[in-house]
Amino acid sequence: MIAGLGLDVVDVAAFTALLNEPGTVFAERTFTPGERRAAAARAAAGSLRPEMHLAARYAAKEAAIKALSQALAPAPLPKALADLREIEVVTDADGRPSLVLTGRVQALAAQGGVRALHVSLSHEAGLATAMVVAER
């Protein structure tokens, strides 16, 4: 049964400017070390610019929060719902993305009865998008 749905769109140019802002720690506060390594590896392999890869993952994290907030309804949401590093986007050997929850976000998902999160990512024409479905 679907418990929540989240969708997010990220403008890659604006996101890249945020990543490249002098002195910023945005990437370290938003992405796990594994996500940052995967972005660098994909860029080194020539498949994607790292900022495009990270923008799609950021969209997935935001979409996951939206889906989880619906799954928790009608309960009120905590003020600080998530440390975004507690939502990790990983890929299998064939490149299919999935979400791994840890910490407080994992506890909130359990509280909402969420058994699984399904994620789809896309990037095209300067935009990165993600959709997340929370399942009970």
Task: Name the token pair of 107.
Answer: 């506890």
Task: Name the token pair of 24.
Answer: 């910023």
- Report the domain count for the chain: 1
Which secondary structure element, helix H or strand E, spans residue 84, and what is its range? none
| 55-105 pLDDT tens trace | 999 999 999 999 999 998 887 767 666 789 999 999 999 989 999 999 989
CATH number of the domain enclosing 24: 3.90.470.20
- pLDDT for 45 equals 77
CB contact set of 56 (below 8 Å; sequence gap of 6+)? 10, 89, 121, 122, 123, 128, 129, 130
Domain boundaries, position 62? 2-135
